[in-house]
Amino acid sequence: MPDRAEMKRQDIETGILVAGGGLAGLTAALALGSQGHDVVLAAPPAPTTDGRTTALLGDSVNLLESLGVWDRIEPDAHALRIMRLIDATGRLLRAPQADFRAQEIGLDAFGYNVANAGLLQAIREALSGIENVHIIEEPVTGLTEEGGNAAVTLLGGAKVHAALVVAADGRNSIVRQSAGIGVRNWSYPQVAVVCNLRHTLPHNDISTEFHTPTGPFTLVPLGDRRSSLVCVEDASGAERLMELDRETLNLELERRMQSILGKVEVDGKLQKFALSGMMAEKFAVGRTVLVGETSHVFPPIGAQGYNLSLRDVATLTGLTSGIRGKEQLSERVPVIVRQYDARRRGDVHARTASVDLLNRSLLSPYLPVQVLRSLGIAALSSFGPLRRFAMREGAVAGSGLRGADPFGRVRQSIGRRRDAS
């Protein structure tokens, strides 16, 4: 592999080109590089101001552990042991409070909450130890096919010839567009206001989701008397929150969370994200596979985006495992692409539909929908088998209906089993 200066001047041959250095692209480059593939990662420098956190659920921890990332972030990761739903709609028909305990399905925790900045840093550190991954800090400008391989152009003028291209260049992906894959976009009349909080009472490892008429208001434990908050509001409500001075904002947030965490203080800045969704019409085509937000964008409800991206990466590396060298990879690409597209479809569609349903059922003004939502939550909370099914499915996709020990893999890998009493 040529050094970086040479790379700028000449055409580059590699097994795999990964476009995009967000969470999905970095993870894909690390996972594929760890398998021994030659990887070029085209990753323009990312902004360093993201104060968000990510809740890693179920299998996500396993994958990060196998990649040598988990050990780096574990000291700063906070366990989510209880998920609590509180109906704060103020409507006539309200669901009862519902608690879901990881212990009930034999887990120590549903997952762990980590700061995005620390997570990105940990993946970059792990990547720096993989010699066959070469990072070029330039965006991709186009993708064509030449001589049976993909030819990817970079902003600096270099052309990368790769057997396989992994598009992780985000929602407006140039790679996806160049590969001719269309998308379906939709939006919601809501904005998520996001921040981190300090509070005077302990959270007891409980993630609390208040269901409000404008959307979920979700607190996720982040550390000792610290939590992250995603507050989904209508556009004008979000604007009002953003404009409040700190003292008024702290009081307003404490009021909305019914003082369950005592006095609260916003730590750092507020960020806002307009709620929308997007799904690619195909997840792979030709010599290109899509991972992360290049293929699926969710509103920040239910902690889905990166967890789903990790399953994209796990599916891809399942298909590239055992392949040696560019030639063999090139021959296998048609099978990889076909199977990847087929395997990701069900998971992405199911998660998109469930997040959409939860959000829209909260917004719906129709009484029958409100009744169904309330009854659904009441049934989940009071009927043991259904509750356990939902918890398993929420933690590990597809495990809800598996046999007696659906979390065997999670327990084995995380090694944090707590015997259910």
Ligand X SMILES: Cc1cc2nc3c(=O)[nH]c(=O)nc-3n(C[C@H](O)[C@H](O)[C@H](O)COP(=O)(O)OP(=O)(O)OC[C@H]3O[C@@H](n4cnc5c(N)ncnc54)[C@H](O)[C@@H]3O)c2cc1C
Query: How many Cβ atoms are within 10 Å of 88's Cβ, its own excluded?
Result: 17
Is residue 168 a contact point for ligand X (CB under 6 A)? yes
Residue number, 356 or 417, with CB nearest to ligand X: 356
Tell me how far the alpha carbon of residue 317 is from its chain's centroid: 18
Does 21 bind ligand X (CB under 6 A)? Our answer is yes
Cα atoms found within 13 Å of the Cα of residue 320, Cβ hemisphere only: 31
Assess 238 for contact with ligand X (CB under 6 A): no
Residue among 2, 36, 44, 68 that touches ligand X (CB under 6 A):
44
Establish if 55 lies at the interface with ligand X (CB under 6 A): yes
Residue 283 found at the interface with ligand X (CB under 6 A): no
The single-letter DSSP state of residue 233 is E
User: Which of 136, 1, 118, 133 lies closest to 52, judged by CA?
Assistant: 118
Least distance from C-beta 44 to ligand X, angstroms? 5
Of residues 177-216, those binding ligand X (CB under 6 A): 192, 194
- DSSP, collapsed to helix, strand or coil, labels residue 213 as coil
Residue least distant from ligand X (Cβ):
22
**Of the residues 46, 117, 242, 380, which one makes contact with ligand X according to CB under 6 A:** 46
In the complex, what is the shortest distance from the CB of residue 175 to ligand X, in angstroms, rounded to a whole number? 7
227 binds ligand X (CB under 6 A): no
| CB of 134 vs ligand X, minimal distance in Å | 14
Window of 47-55, 80-88, 92-100, 376-384 that interacts with ligand X by CB under 6 A: 47-55
Name the minimum Å distance from CB 272 to ligand X. Answer: 9
Query: Residue 265: helix, strand or coil by DSSP?
Result: strand
**Which lies closer to ligand X via its Cβ, residue 160 or residue 337?**
160
- Which of 54, 149, 250, 352 touches ligand X (CB under 6 A)? 54
Instruction: Indicate whether 174 belongs to the interface with ligand X (CB under 6 A).
Output: yes
Residues 6+ apart with CB under 8 A from 72: 122, 125, 126
Contact with ligand X (CB under 6 A) among 170, 215, 216, 394: 170
Residue 33 to residues 29, 40, 114, 135: CA-CA distances in angstroms? Answer: 6, 9, 24, 11
Q: With CA atoms as reference, report the closest residue to 381 among 82, 106, 155, 120.
A: 82
Give the single-character DSSP code of 214: T
Contact with ligand X (CB under 6 A) among 165, 193, 206, 230 = 230
Closer of 36 and 237 to ligand X (Cβ): 237
User: H or E segment at 32?
Assistant: helix 23-34
Q: Closer to ligand X at the Cβ: 46 or 244?
A: 46
Q: State yes or no: residue 135 binds ligand X (CB under 6 A).
A: no
Residue keyed to tokens 């085209």: 42
d(CA 187, CA 170): 17
Token representation of residue 353: 């539909």
Both structure tokens of 58: 């179920």
Which residue(s) pair with 42 in the sheet? 19, 136
Q: Which residues between 289 and 328 bind ligand X (CB under 6 A)?
A: 292-293, 300, 303-307, 309
Binding mask 137-156 for ligand X (x = CB under 6 A): --xx----------------
Closest distance between ligand X and the C-beta of residue 371, in Å?
A: 30
Q: Which of 301, 410, 373, 291 shows the shortest CA–CA distance to 340?
A: 291
When the beta carbons of 207 and 381 are compared against ligand X, the nearer one is 207
Nearer to ligand X, 52 or 94 (CB): 52
List Cβ neighbours of 73 (8 Å cut-off, separation of 6 or more): 64, 114, 118, 119, 122
Q: What are phi and psi of 235, to 5 degrees?
A: -60, -45
Shortest distance (Å) from residue 376 CB to ligand X: 23
Dig out the tokens for 92 from the structure: 């006539």
Q: What is the nearest approach in angstroms of ligand X to the Cβ of residue 293?
A: 4
* Sign of the CA dihedral with 118 first, then 392, 317, and 350 last: negative
Total chain residues near ligand X (CB under 6 A): 33
Q: Is 229 exposed, middle or buried (0-12, 13-18, 19+ CB in 10 A)?
A: buried
Q: Which is nearer to ligand X, 149 or 304 (CB)?
A: 304
| Site membership for ligand X, residue 348 (CB under 6 A) | no
Q: Which residues bind ligand X (CB under 6 A)?
A: 19-25, 42-44, 46, 52, 54-55, 139-140, 168-170, 174, 192, 194, 230, 273, 292-293, 300, 303-307, 309
